[in-house]
Structure 1
Amino acid sequence: MKHTSYIKGGHIISIYALITSASAIILAIVWAAELAGLAPCPLCLQQRYAYYIALGLGVYGGFCALRFPIASRGLLVVLAIIFAANAVFGIYHSGVEYGWWAGPLGCAGTGAGSGASAITSTQDLLAQLNRPFVSCERPSFRFLSLSLAGYNALASFGLSALALYGAKK
């Protein structure tokens, strides 16, 4: 017996709800970790972009699914690509933490860091200087021998697979 949805695009809406909820939960976790004193490194901050984008696209795609299910599936493919790229970025960051390869200059404390281009005034410069530097090479937290970058790679891979599943279904 074939399952039919009562709402046009209902299964796609469920996929968007899962992706949006997971992104919000992950962002809440990293913000809570920051409030608890775990300062993020520049690569950690960059890995959050995928989740911010997913929040916006997830809400938009969920509403789109009601009227434009085909276009909404295309948006799921875009989300899958974004999360796949973020998974690769998380693997790269994990490799930097384990010393498998060198990180970017802004993570090693060798000069112009990740926020140097955003300095436009003396107040910005003072704020940058007062901010504690966190090296990308030393994870501030590990659980079951994985850092948050490793868990980000796993979560991003899972969300990418979920988005592809929703686009295919």
Structure 2
Amino acid sequence: MLNSLTPQRAALLIFIVAFVTIAGAWIFEYYGYLPCELCLKQRWAYYVGVPLALLVSLVGPHNPQLAKAGLMLLAALWLGSMLFGIYHSGVEWKWWPGPATCTAQAGFSGGLPDLTKPAVLCDTPAIRIFGLSLAGWNAVISLGLSMVAVAGLRRAQGSSSVSQ
């Protein structure tokens, strides 16, 4: 199925899935599942990836070189997002330490905490769905988006080598 994705459809699929994912994160936040510092940093990939995927899907059919470059960038972006999601999941499972500023061991070394904001710890997941925290689901979704970008890129490279 992924092998039949054109670069334009791959970028459009990435746009839709990434947009729905970040919208889901905002909905969880609205209903009281506040994000920690690492959760907010994981969103950066979506803030870059959503408009980039839309741009590639719209401009890509008219500019195959731009489509290839955009899909390469999207593949790298989502792979990085996956690694960051794995890192955050490991912090939540206590496999390795997280940033001192947002874990249960956080002290006052950076000064007094901001008491106007609720404390959200990075090593305590807000919710688990089918055994995975939202950071874990970010890793899974990001891997899938990276695979879609690579599939679109393969199709783009295959079509250009046939036309030569």
Superposed pair shares fold, TM > 0.5: yes
Of 98, 101, 107, 2:102 maps to: 107
Q: Are 1:86 and 2:84 counterparts?
A: no
Task: Report if the CA contact (8 A) 2:8-2:67 is conserved.
Answer: no
2:162 — aligned with what? Answer: none
How many positions carry a matched residue from both structures?
Answer: 149
Greater CA drift, 101-110 or 84-93: 101-110
Q: Take 1:106 and 1:64, find their aligned partners in 2: how far apart are those partners?
A: 42
Task: Report if the CA contact (8 A) 1:141-1:147 is conserved.
Answer: yes
Give 1:106 shift. Answer: 2.1
Give the residue type in structure 2 aligned to 1:90: G
Q: Take 1:100 and 1:62, find their aligned partners in 2: how far apart are those partners?
A: 39
Give the residue type in structure 1 aligned to 2:25: V
Q: Are 1:154 and 2:149 counterparts?
A: no
Q: Which ranges of structure 1 fall in alignment gaps of 5 or more residues?
A: 1-9, 117-125
Give 1:25 shift. Answer: 0.1
Task: Name the CA shift for 1:111/1:158 in 2 (closer, same or farther; >3 Å).
Answer: farther
Q: Take 1:21 and 1:161, find their aligned partners in 2: how far apart are those partners?
A: 15
Q: Take 2:129 and 2:58, find their aligned partners in 1: how far apart are those partners?
A: 37
The structure, 1 or 2, with the larger RCO (C-alpha pairs under 8 Å, 6+ apart) is 2
The two structures, once aligned, show a CA RMSD in angstroms of: 2.1
Give the residue type in structure 1 aligned to 2:148: L
Q: Which ranges of structure 2 fall in alignment gaps of 5 or more residues?
A: 156-164
Task: Report if the CA contact (8 A) 1:105-1:111 is conserved.
Answer: no
Task: Report if the CA contact (8 A) 2:74-2:149 is conserved.
Answer: yes
Give 1:14 shift. Answer: 1.0
Amino-acid identity (%):
37
Q: Could you state the TM-score of these two structures normalised by the residue count of structure 2?
A: 0.84
Task: Name the CA shift for 1:104/1:67 in 2 (closer, same or farther; >3 Å).
Answer: same
Of 37, 50, 65, 2:45 maps to: 50
